[in-house]
Amino acid sequence: MSAQIIDGKAIARQIEEAVAASIAKLGFRPGLVAVRVGNDPASEVYVRNKAKKARELGLTGTELVFPETMSEAELLAEVARLNADESIDGILVQLPLPKHIDARKVIDAIAPAKDVDGFHPINVGMLHLGRPTLAPCTPAGVIRLIESTGRPIEGSHAVVIGRSDIVGKPMAALLLQRNATVTICHSKTRDLPAVARSADILVAAIGRPVMVTDDFVKPGAVVIDVGMNRVGPEDGALLAHDEEKTRLLTSTTRGSATWRRGSRPYREG
């Protein structure tokens, strides 16, 4: 049986349509601010796209860009200003930050109610307690992708490869909330392929190229690939790598594995 490919772009369009319709009913334009410090090329693209998409959906999307030389105190002061601004409903601080700035201090300084990334300790705690909160976008998106397959999460054995605070841990929490039995794997896990093969739902959230291959996947498993990795200096290497992942997963899985290419690079914790 050939693999079924999840159409992530089609699902994204459905979500965007629903969000735009909800915003149109509010009677005002919520304010979202994306903050970037420095000139990291990937961050530049992410922040610009976030602000652009916010505007397309009916929000007031603003991009604030500061020089690499901005001090930690100056950034914390800017976050405090945005917290106090009643026209701002959501704050995104793009990571990574320059090395002289403590990212944890900055995340902790964002008002929990405006922390749309869901990284503030209060929101993290609420998530793990199973209470309504702002969840990190990548794990939340993975849940939507899994649900789109029609395969039940409840009662399934879900294996998450990766334990980062951004993806792995919140991914496990969201799966637990939906009554999956969850195993979190990492670089110290013994016989990782065997553990992965036990999964009904396999989420690969580890920063290592082409790690999950056919010996990690049992027939019929749902496979979601969160990672994105650049594998060479030449132009097009990232696209070529993703195309290779597509070929590997669709041609070597022994059943109807479902996967989706990820959209956010990160390092395993």
Q: Which residues are catalytic?
A: 50, 94, 117
Could you tell me which of 117, 109, 108 has the C-alpha nearest to residue 139?
117
Could you tell me which of 87, 93, 173 has the C-alpha nearest to residue 127?
173
Could you tell me which of 126, 121, 130, 209 has the C-alpha nearest to residue 165?
121
